[in-house]
Amino acid sequence: MALKIEQNITITGTSTINGENAVSYYATVPTSGGNSYFNMNVTNQALYDANRKEMRKDESEFRAKVYEVEDEIASAE
């Protein structure tokens, strides 16, 4: 039997409109390289639909942050 331990970085974000949550974002980036995991959960569909452009901008900013962390890890290897 062997124990394999992995370290990951978890990144979370929330898009809000007028104080109401519309979308939650989650990402897990392994510190040893490999594929990251990304998940987006629309928590208020009506709010998301009414503010689709803003929500997509937030998603893009969140993904950019995940890419930034991935690049930091890759450059440290």
10: enclosing H helix or E strand: strand 8-17
Query: Residue 46 falls within a domain, yes or no?
Result: yes
Q: What is the pTM of this model?
A: 0.88
Structural domains counted in the chain: 1
Of 56, 77, 67, 61, the closest CA to residue 29 belongs to 67
Boundaries of domain holding 55: 8-76
- The mean of the pLDDT values for the chain is 94
In a domain, 1, yes or no: no
Confidence of residue 32 (pLDDT cuts 50, 70, 90): confident
Q: Is residue 3 part of a domain?
A: no
Does any domain span residue 2? no
